[in-house]
Structure formats: structure tokens, C-alpha cells
Structure 1
Amino acid sequence: MENNLVRINKFLSESGYCSRREADRLIDQGRVTINGVVPEMGTKISPTDEVRVNGELIKEKKDEHIYLAYNKPEGIECTTNLDVRDNIIEAINYPERIFPIGRLDKGSEGLIFMTNDGDIVNKILRARNNHEKEYIVTVNRTITDRFIDQMANGIPILDTITRKCKVERISNNVFRIVLTQGLNRQIRRMCEYLDYDVVALKRTRIINIKLDLPVGKYRNLTPKELEELNSLISDSSKTEEASLPSNKAKFTGSRNYGKRNR
């Protein structure tokens, strides 16, 4: 019987409703019920239990997973909360329930992944996995050699020193930076520490996926991209249960758009 039980946050992520992190937040807020009862964090459920979020019945997802690359416009908020103005869900207007993997500041544009596979979120997001994210940044004044050197070797922000990273000057006030961590507003804070203001910021790559879309457009990740991505993150720690062989994730593309479900 124990083999049929699954943690409530894992069930919600595998159903395509949200990521595990978001599921934990919903549980903490008392918005999730199991058979009409608000559960504790970490509660396990059986296949016969009835799970609802905000009163909506959540069913186990049988369809293939969706993996999209989206060029987020500036001014769009990376939230699944539809009450928030200019949220990413209404902006992308996808016909099935999906959510973003990670965040991109409202004032920034560029590549972000969208999916209905909550089980891969931590695998990609966890900073200790050293997954690269590349950005093109425009600042308000001339970039010096000292600026490039300091940005590359670590800046004290948020009670820590940023990891060493790759930084390359493109023009007088534009540079490229490749990060392997994701501190809150990291690039902007790093620049501010050196008395520079970010004028524009665009993410152009996440791991092996490069931005190749007009602003506001999305596409499915290709089978080749998914195969390579799966290989690159295969050693990443996905969750607290990642050591179990049965939890190894494999990616497949999906073009089954179905009906709108949100």
C-alpha cells in the first residue's frame, strides 16, 4: 500500500498543475484539500484520494509533457497568479495549463522555459548544478576593464559573494555575462554595487537552449534539444527523492495542445 502513496506536492507537480515549490506554497496557504480536509506539509495521498486546489478537482495527468521556449517581453510578470496584471500566463496565452521554470525580472526580456512538468523545475533551477544562463546587458555608462574584472571575480551582494563568472565586453556600454547561480536581481545588484545602472537586460541562453524567437513568441523545444538537455541535467539533484531510480526524468516533446485548461 505504501508504494501507492505519493507526497501531495509531487502529485500536484506531476498533474501539471504547478511546480513542487508552488505546491508547497499553496499547501501552506491552506488552499489545498485532500478529501475535504486541509493537509499538513508532506502529507501523502493514495490514488483514491480526492485532491482540490481552491475547490478545483485535480486529476492525474495522462498526457505528454509540454516544454516551450518563450521570449518574454519586458513588462511581463513571471507569475501564475492571474490576478496580477501582465502575468506571464495570460501573455503567452497557451491552450493548456503551463507555468514558468524560474523567473525573469519584469523589467527584463528574453528566454524562459514554460512547462506542465513540475517534476523538472528543481533539476534546472538548483544553483549547485552549475547550469549556465547567458545575458546581454546594457548599462548607463562606459564599461571599463576594472568593471569587467570585478563582475567576473565576484561582487558582494545579499550577504554573499557572487560566483566567478564569464564576462565579455561587446561595446562601450554593452556586455555579455554567463551565470551559474540565480540570486534575486543578481545582475542589476552587481552593476549597482559598481555604480552602474542597467538600462536593458536580455537572457539569450539557458543551458543548451539559445534564444531564436521574436519577442512575445514561443516554440516547442525540439527532440534534439530535449535529448541534449536531458543529458546535461541528468546528474542534477531533482528533489529530496531524487536518489530513487524511479524518479529519473526523461523528456519527450509534445505537440498535443488540446483544450484550454485554466
Structure 2
Amino acid sequence: MKRLNKYISDTGFCSRREADKLIEQKRVKVNGIAPELGTKIGDADKVEVDGKLIKAVPDNKSDRVYLAYHKPVGITCTTERKVKGNIVDAVNYPQRIFPIGRLDKPSEGLILLTNDGDIVNKILRAENAHEKQYRVNVNKAISPSFLEKMSRGVPILNTVTLPCEVKQIGKQSFDIVLTQGLNRQIRRMCEYLGYEVTRLVRRRIMHIKLDKLNAGQYRKLSDDELNVLNRQVQASVKTATYANKG
């Protein structure tokens, strides 16, 4: 037996969180009946979303897709097709895929997309264990005080950001490595210190790099990248689970 939300996410239809929303909205039926949240299903059960049959994923995940995409400015990280400029239409991949996490509409750079709901859940559950590197341009010259305060932590959103690595690249640009994912975090940090972000590019997620992908281009992850990703996700989920028990 498997929980219905996990069954749906494992098929690549959407994330587990989005599957719960579909169930709450009564858009999911099991054997013709709208189920409750937390429902468990077996191999013989028939699952439909919006009237369309959802097929179980092969045990070896041979049909899974893993993409690195250079999201352009103006694209919104949503699977809602009614939203103009949504990431699904922008990528225009022949199979149904969805983004892992988010990248602000005015920002650009690396985002991962997949139809493997299981890996999405593992990455998002342990998000604060994963490094993300950004190249940031601001509207005026960077001071040593700015770099020191950014790296030490800045009070935003009723908390103080975790210490992070910050390195000046040019007169008005710097690289920053975060292990947090607060809403518009870098922009808010800069605003607090009197700077305005003029360009923000995510260049790396964990070991996966943007490299030479131009805005709007995507590539499949290599076998090596996938192997490392699975190892890191497994380790960080265990760490996060243990930490949450404290």
C-alpha cells in the first residue's frame, strides 16, 4: 500500500504537496470516488486526475527526466498553465515536468526540473543542507562593510539569515553561497543594507552548475551528476530528519 499523494508524485504528475491540493480540490478520484487526504492505495486501484488515468511509475524509474534549465528573467516557476510565462510552457518539454523549488521571476539562472516526485520531496525536505551559489550585481560600489554584514547575517522576515560565504567579484558584483531559501532572500538582504539588486543569476545548485547554458536553454543531467545528487539527497535527508528530532 502507498499513500495517494506519494503515488501521484511518483508518477511525475506533480509534487506531493501539489498532489494534496488536487485531492483537497476533489480533482482526484480513486476507483471513481473522491478520496480523503491520507488515503492509501494498492496496485489494483485506479487513480484519475481531472478524469485522466494516472499510471504507476516503473520500479527502475526508467521513464524519469532530470533537466538543468537556465531560467530567463520574466519566467514564473509555476506549473499553472493559465499563468502567462509559466516555466512549463517556457521549457516546452515533450513530457510533463515540474521545477524543484523556485527562482524569483526577476531573477535568472539554474533551476532543476523533473518528473520524479520522490527526488523533489527529498530535496525540498532537506533544502537547508544544500548549497546554492548566485552571482549578484548591485546599483553602487560594494564596501567592505557590506560584504562583512552580508556574510555574518542580516535581519529580514523576522529572523536573521544564516552566516554565508560572500566574495566580491567586481566593483558592483559579488558571489554568494546560501543554504537557506527565504523568500527573495538576497534582494531583501541587499535592501536592508541600502543596495538594490540589478541582476541576480543562480550559477550552481549543490554540485550541478549552470556552466555554458544560455538563457532559455536546458540540458539533461549526466549520469555522474545524477549519482552524486542521489547520494547527497539521501545523506542530507537523514541529517535533516535527525536534526528535526532535536
Q: Same fold (TM over 0.5)?
A: yes
* Match among 38, 41, 45 for residue 49 of structure 1: 45
Q: Aligned residue for 2:28?
A: 32
CA–CA distance in 2 between the matches of 1:26 and 1:192?
37
Write out the 4+ residue segments of structure 1 that deviate beyond 6 Å after TM superposition: none
Other-structure match for 2:145: 146
Alignment of 1:110-149 (within 5 A): 110-127=109-126, 129-149=128-148
Would you say 1:231 and 2:231 are equivalent positions? yes
Q: Partners in 1 of 2:9 and 2:40 — Cα distance? A: 14
CA distance in 2, matches of 1:81, 1:178: 30
TM-score by length of 1: 0.86
Instruction: Report the secondary structure of 2:236's partner residue.
Output: coil
Cα distance in 1 between the residues matched to 2:162 and 2:51: 44
Partner in structure 2 of residue 252 of structure 1? none
Partner of 2:161: 162
Query: Residue 85 of structure 1 corresponds to which residue in structure 2?
Result: 84
In 2, are the aligned partners of 1:127 and 1:180 still within 8 Å (CA)? no
Report the RMSD for the aligned CA atoms in angstroms.
Answer: 1.8
Distance in 2 of aligned mates of 1:228 and 1:153: 30
Counterpart for residue 256 of structure 1: none
- Which structure shows the bigger proportion of residues in helix conformation? 2
Tell me the CA shift for residue 128 of structure 1: 5.8
1:23 CA drift (Å): 1.0
Q: Report the number of matched residues.
A: 237
Instruction: Determine what percentage of the aligned residue pairs are the same residue.
Output: 58
Note the C-alpha offset of 1:30. Answer: 2.5
Structure 1: segments with no counterpart, 5+ residues = 244-262
Instruction: Determine if contact 1:127/1:182 at 8 Å carries over to the other structure.
Output: no
SS in 1 for 2:74: coil
How far is the alpha carbon of 1:237 from its aligned partner?
A: 2.2
What are the Cα deviations for residues 105-126 of structure 1, in whole angstroms up to 9, with x where unaligned? 1111100001010001132223
Aligned partner of residue 214 in structure 1, secondary structure: coil
Does residue 67 of the first structure (1) align with residue 91 of the second (2)? no
